[in-house]
Amino acid sequence: MPTTTIAGQAVEVNDEGFLTRPDQWSDDLGTELARLIGIELTADHWKLVHFLRDDFAHQRETATLRRVSTQTGTPIKSLFDLFPGKPAKKMAYVAGLPKPKGCV
């Protein structure tokens, strides 16, 4: 696995740049991951990122956009506003998780 240095910390990533070890993640690292993809995290972002982390811990799978929307009660449109363009992948990246596998 390649490693890259983010916020002074060496982390393992896959060939797309997603973190491969969820235990290497922290809130500080999340802030920096978001900054690297052009997002400044607000309380609304954090609510979603923390949901993704908790959900992954239980499901061992990254939540799809629909799951994030229904489980957190956040309209899909807001997810696109908070993480523009590719919300599911961007959220997963900031949360230090693999991109979601589900289709919907």
| 3-class SS string, the chain | CCEEEECCEEEEECCCCCECCHHHCCHHHHHHHHHHCCCCCCHHHHHHHHHHHHHHHHHCCCCCHHHHHHHHCCCHHHHHHHCCCCHHHHHHHHCCCCCCCCCC
Considering only the stretches 20-28, 42-50, 54-62, 79-87, report the one whose residues sit in contact with other proteins under the rule CB under 8 A.
Answer: 79-87
Encoded one letter per residue, x for contact with other proteins by CB under 8 A and - for no contact, window 9-38 reads ----x--xxx-----------------xxx
**Binding test (CB under 8 A) with other proteins, winner from 45, 90, 95, 97:** 90
Report the interface residues with other proteins, using CB under 8 A: 2, 4-6, 13, 16-18, 36-38, 64-67, 69-70, 75-77, 80, 84-90, 93, 103-104
